[in-house]
Structure 1
């Protein structure tokens, strides 16, 4: 296998804004009389904003209490709070090894794509000073179904003109790994093996510091 494109999740792979998501969701949930903790928050990683809200409402037995318009308003409110917190993001928050890997991929003429459920990806990448190292950022609105469906990864491959069979996806969440495998790509998981291996990831690394172009090339052998 010749690797022609690498598709990255954002939160938990490029940087960590998960804590900001958690703070914003916890605040919104409390407003609705629902209590969530960090363990529950793990269920929200890698899924869309609206699906995250639905999971919180089901958790609080309020799934049928709100209209579609009210849910959209709440999701917008959460995002506004999250965006306020993003002012704290800077280049120092890029995960270990990521900038170096992106430079290696650029030198090797390998396409790089962000395949994240976050609609704030462009803003975050700009704050991290990484925008110029990506060929394409998939807008979640471009696809019909969020992770664990493969749509966002397939769209990313299509956008850079690469067959999914020649792509590697990098994820830290179960839903993301399932999406990569459904897209028929090689999946690299970042995190704990017992969490990610059941989702079908091909290899699990404890941190992004272990990522390199030479390592990714071994996956194609």
Structure 2
């Protein structure tokens, strides 16, 4: 029996990918090279420091760890300046309606995101009060596909992993859900998220009936 739903944030509830892209692009320009949307695909579902390593690899730049930390902070400063301007109309189609339906059916709800900015985004979108638990990058140390973020979410909701359904848009996130012994709904396309139990293009295609049949 399904008792809880755990949601990734970026690409599932809101699309902050473009803000990440603009921030990484700005950093690349400061370093003297171009960062394209195609390059940005390599960063999807990847931690900030690993993303920086990929960025530097694209720019053929090597540097010490201390300097990398400075650059990662600078990128995050760029990103935060964008997300603090976000508005509720940026919530992806169907997300609010589906979460409301889950609440009406007594399904617990948690956020499971690697982002350390998750609370800022939820506050800006006026969604914070909808979540029974928020597990973000400030609470976990292991990146997806490690299931830590989702297992901690289940723990905070006081439910078993097998009673949870995870909503994810990244392959690493789907793998994390499965590794944690949870059902998974992929948000995207079957060619990328084929390991998920169900794949939909967005939460506007979800309802409680579909969830119950998983």
TM-score after normalising by structure 2: 0.94
Match of 2:211 in 1: 216
Which deviations, in whole Å up to 9, do the C-alpha atoms of 1:1-21 show, x marking residues without a partner?
x11111101111001111010
- Asked whether the equivalents of residues 46 and 116 of structure 1 are also in contact (C-alpha less than 8 Å), the reply is no
Mapped to 1, the partners of 2:38 and 2:28 lie a distance apart of: 14
- Asked whether the equivalents of residues 97 and 212 of structure 1 are also in contact (C-alpha less than 8 Å), the reply is no
Match of 2:198 in 1: 203
In structure 2, which of residues 85, 89, 95 is the aligned counterpart of residue 88 of structure 1?
A: 85
Alignment of 1:124-143 (within 5 A): 124-143=121-140
Mapped to 2, the partners of 1:184 and 1:73 lie a distance apart of: 37
Following TM superposition, the consecutive aligned residue runs of length 4 or more in structure 1 with deviations greater than 6 angstroms are: none
Q: Does 1:109 align with 2:138?
A: no
Mapped to 2, the partners of 1:54 and 1:11 lie a distance apart of: 21
Match of 2:143 in 1: 146
Match of 1:30 in 2: 29
Alignment of 1:43-62 (within 5 A): 43-62=42-61
Q: Secondary structure at the match of 1:117?
A: coil
Shift of the alpha carbon at 1:116? 0.9
- Asked whether the equivalents of residues 3 and 164 of structure 2 are also in contact (C-alpha less than 8 Å), the reply is yes
Shift of the alpha carbon at 1:60? 3.0
Q: Secondary structure at the match of 1:140?
A: coil
Shift of the alpha carbon at 1:204? 0.8
Mapped to 2, the partners of 1:13 and 1:117 lie a distance apart of: 13
Shift of the alpha carbon at 1:180? 1.1
TM-score after normalising by structure 1: 0.91
Match of 2:70 in 1: 73
Mapped to 2, the partners of 1:48 and 1:175 lie a distance apart of: 11
Q: Does 1:177 align with 2:180?
A: no
- Asked whether the equivalents of residues 111 and 136 of structure 2 are also in contact (C-alpha less than 8 Å), the reply is no
- Asked whether the equivalents of residues 157 and 163 of structure 1 are also in contact (C-alpha less than 8 Å), the reply is yes
Match of 1:20 in 2: 19
Shift of the alpha carbon at 1:36? 2.3
- Asked whether the equivalents of residues 98 and 203 of structure 2 are also in contact (C-alpha less than 8 Å), the reply is no
Q: Secondary structure at the match of 2:165?
A: strand
Q: CA RMSD in A?
A: 1.4
For structure 1, list consecutive stretches of 5 or more residues without a partner in the other structure.
none
In structure 2, which of residues 94, 99, 104 is the aligned counterpart of residue 97 of structure 1?
A: 94
Mapped to 2, the partners of 1:167 and 1:34 lie a distance apart of: 43
Match of 2:154 in 1: 157
Shift of the alpha carbon at 1:58? 2.7
Match of 1:10 in 2: 9
Mapped to 1, the partners of 2:155 and 2:63 lie a distance apart of: 37
